[in-house]
Structure 1
Amino acid sequence: MINDARVLQPEFIPQEIEHRNQETNVLSNALKPIMDGQPGETSLLLGPSGAGKTCIAQFTVERLRENVLDINTQYINCWQDYTRFRVLYRILEGIDQTMDIHRRSTPRDELLTRLQEYDGPHYVVILDEVDQLEDKSVLYDLYRTRKITMVLIANREEDLFSMFDERLTSRLHGSVRVEFERYHLDELVAILAARARWGLSESAIGNQQLALIADAAAGDARIGISILRNAARLADQQSRDTISNEILHEAVPDGREEIRRSTADKLREHQRVLYEILLEDGEMSPGDLYDEYCEQVDEPKTKRTVRNYLQKMEQYRLIVAQGEKRARTYRPRKEGT
């Protein structure tokens, strides 16, 4: 049944993009000056998880590489590379400038100096989950570095800019905005149909089953692709030629849980402590949650930082926030909600 398992992976970048032509065109136009040897415009891709932001960024930059002879590119997920040192290191790594850098002893300023001395081809850097950066000043450093064009990816603009100081806000305020909304049901069906066409045997899944997956995914392509992948795996294990409704009944919760587990695995130490407190204690007020968190860590973050952590976990459907201000509570999201 499975002809090409790669296309069922979330990181797969297709050769053709479904239902994101306008967003692709806006980003392409922002980067177009690079084709004439000029810097591109800083771009900000905004929208919920699973809306195609990362896919469009990588797809568009790859198309740019096909048209520009001399260009360097680098993708950085700031959920993993969240410190200033790690970001600068990954950018230098993309231009082979890290051979003599020691992670524990090389000063951060030396990394920045090397980057500012860079005189090679134009460099496009995609910073995904940019709101996860611990030190946002690295964005100011990159903004001032010649020959570097940034593509920044985040969920919500207001959350992101609330973390910036006035200096950085003024620099990034004029960025090109590319807004993403959740996929509609028919759009997600088309995306899943394309993945099935590329990765599965002919007639392995019907339109009715694809619609069931899209409905269960609620506009999130990551979840939809995860459900399809799990359904194909189950059908293959059972030596089935087609994916039935019965198989989907089992694959839907597995696909959702796979995405939830993958997201939870990316949480950093302090984020994980907060999440585990909610898993153990259930619904809690912000004050009680913060007090319990402070008892469990040696150097607690500020309330504002913790609030940002909780907002991020809410956006990625790990927790549910209810109420406003003093009446607000947080609880872990249950399967199927």
Structure 2
Amino acid sequence: MIRDARVLRAGFVPREVEHRDAEVNHLSSVLEPITNGEPADTAVVTGPSGAGKTCIAKFVIERLREEVLDVEATYVNCWRNYTRFRTLYTILDDLGGTIDIHRQSTPHDELVDRLQQYEGRTVVILDEADQLEDPGLIYDLHSLPQFAIICIANNEEELFSRVDDRLVSRLRASEHVRMEKYHNEQLFDILQARVRWGLEPDAITDEQLYRIADAAAGDARLAIGILRTAASTADRENRDRITDEMLFDAAEDSRARIRQKSLDSLTPHQRVVYDVLDEHGPLSPGEIHERYAEVVEDPRTKRTVRTYLAKMEQYNLLTAEGTSRDREYALVDPDAA
């Protein structure tokens, strides 16, 4: 059943990216100065979950590294590495500069100094950049000409709302690559390519692929997850074909896995906000902040908590109803999602 399991994995970067030629060309043009030994502008890549933001960023960098020998690349998931120290440490670690760094005692400024001394040209992907507790480090990296920065976020305004004026002006002047949700036909093409590379012939029908695309509602991550889970089930049961029942079970399982991964990725403060809604929701943003502030020792601002709410809404953990004045948030019912 499965010929090449790699192409069904969530982080797989294909040799060709379907239906993102314009975005790939745009981002490639931003990084092109690196090929001539010159600094590149910062790029801001935005779009909904599952639109392929991370995929095209990694794809463009791989293509760049095929052309230029002495270009390094590092990837930071800022949802997981949301503190200033962890982000800087991850970058340095990828560059081999953390051998004598003590996680608990090394000052943050020393990490920046080490990056400043680094002489190689490097592209840094800051994925989920709007999750950074201290977005000011984007400014620090932006100020180092040997580093080209790709900031990935769901929404650029939410990224900008948490940074100071000096960085906002620089980010607004950056190159923006905006991505929309995939259409069903586009998701079908993406799935068909994965099937062609990864599964035996006739393992799944085109009608079933269209059904996956429809169930995924524009989210390529979910669509590929459904295909992967169904193929894994068929392979485990020694079947030659994926059945409709396998697809139904795979859709439920993939949604649950993505939801749990999003929950596990919440920062401690975001988790408190989520738990407040779990216990007391639906609530307005003001009520959420009031209850949240009663629980934590160092509460974040109301603006930051609103950013948390927007982030969790984008990842289908929360739902919002009403206008900006009377809006209320509640948890998404997993059975109804």
TM-score range with shorter-chain normalisation?
over 0.9
SS state of the match for residue 202, structure 1? Answer: coil
> Structure 2: which 5+ residue stretches go unaligned?
none
CA deviation map 1:77-107 (0-9, x unaligned): 1111112212221221222111111111111
1:286 Cα shift?
A: 2.1
1:239 Cα shift?
A: 2.8
1:76 Cα shift?
A: 0.6
1:282 Cα shift?
A: 4.1
- What's the counterpart of residue 252 of structure 1? 251
1:247-286 alignment runs, 5 A limit: 247-286=246-285
Structure 2 residue 21 is matched with structure 1 residue 21: yes
- What's the counterpart of residue 73 of structure 2? 73
Is the 1:128–1:152 contact (alpha carbons within 8 Å) kept by the matching residues of 2?
yes
Is the 2:72–2:122 contact (alpha carbons within 8 Å) kept by the matching residues of 1?
yes
Distance, in Å, in 2 between the alignment partners of 1:173 and 1:291 is 33
1:167-178 alignment runs, 5 A limit: 167-178=166-177
Structure 2 residue 96 is matched with structure 1 residue 96: yes
| Aligned residue type for 2:265 | K
Compare 318-327 and 53-62 and name the one that shifted more. 318-327
Compare 42-51 and 81-90 and name the one that shifted more. 81-90
Distance, in Å, in 2 between the alignment partners of 1:204 and 1:282 is 45
TM-score, length-scaled by structure 1: 0.96
Structure 2 residue 146 is matched with structure 1 residue 147: yes
CA deviation map 1:46-72 (0-9, x unaligned): 110100000000000010000001111
What count of residue pairs does the alignment treat as equivalent?
A: 336
| Aligned residue type for 2:9 | Q
CA deviation map 1:249-274 (0-9, x unaligned): 22111111111111111111111122
Structure 2 residue 265 is matched with structure 1 residue 243: no
Is the 1:253–1:336 contact (alpha carbons within 8 Å) kept by the matching residues of 2?
no
TM-score, length-scaled by structure 2: 0.96
1:192 Cα shift?
A: 0.9
Is the 2:162–2:304 contact (alpha carbons within 8 Å) kept by the matching residues of 1?
no
- What's the counterpart of residue 308 of structure 1? 307
| Aligned residue type for 2:327 | R
1:293 Cα shift?
A: 1.9
- What's the counterpart of residue 327 of structure 1? 326
| Aligned residue type for 1:108 | H
Is the 2:286–2:302 contact (alpha carbons within 8 Å) kept by the matching residues of 1?
no
Q: Over aligned residue pairs, what C-alpha RMSD do you find?
A: 1.3
| Aligned residue type for 1:60 | V
1:163 Cα shift?
A: 1.2
CA deviation map 1:155-196 (0-9, x unaligned): 111111111211111222211111100000000011111112
Distance, in Å, in 1 between the alignment partners of 2:109 and 2:288 is 37
Distance, in Å, in 2 between the alignment partners of 1:209 and 1:279 is 36
SS state of the match for residue 325, structure 1? Answer: coil
Distance, in Å, in 2 between the alignment partners of 1:238 and 1:253 is 19
Distance, in Å, in 1 between the alignment partners of 2:71 and 2:229 is 38
Taking only the aligned residue pairs, the percentage that are identical comes to 54
CA deviation map 1:127-146 (0-9, x unaligned): 10000111111111111112
1:325 Cα shift?
A: 2.8
> Structure 1: which 5+ residue stretches go unaligned?
none
Structure 2 residue 221 is matched with structure 1 residue 186: no
- The 1:103/1:336 distance shift into structure 2, 3 A limit, reads same
Is the 2:45–2:177 contact (alpha carbons within 8 Å) kept by the matching residues of 1?
yes
SS state of the match for residue 170, structure 1? Answer: helix
Is the 1:45–1:154 contact (alpha carbons within 8 Å) kept by the matching residues of 2?
yes
| Aligned residue type for 2:52 | G
Is the 1:10–1:226 contact (alpha carbons within 8 Å) kept by the matching residues of 2?
yes
SS state of the match for residue 25, structure 2? Answer: helix
Is the 1:72–1:94 contact (alpha carbons within 8 Å) kept by the matching residues of 2?
no
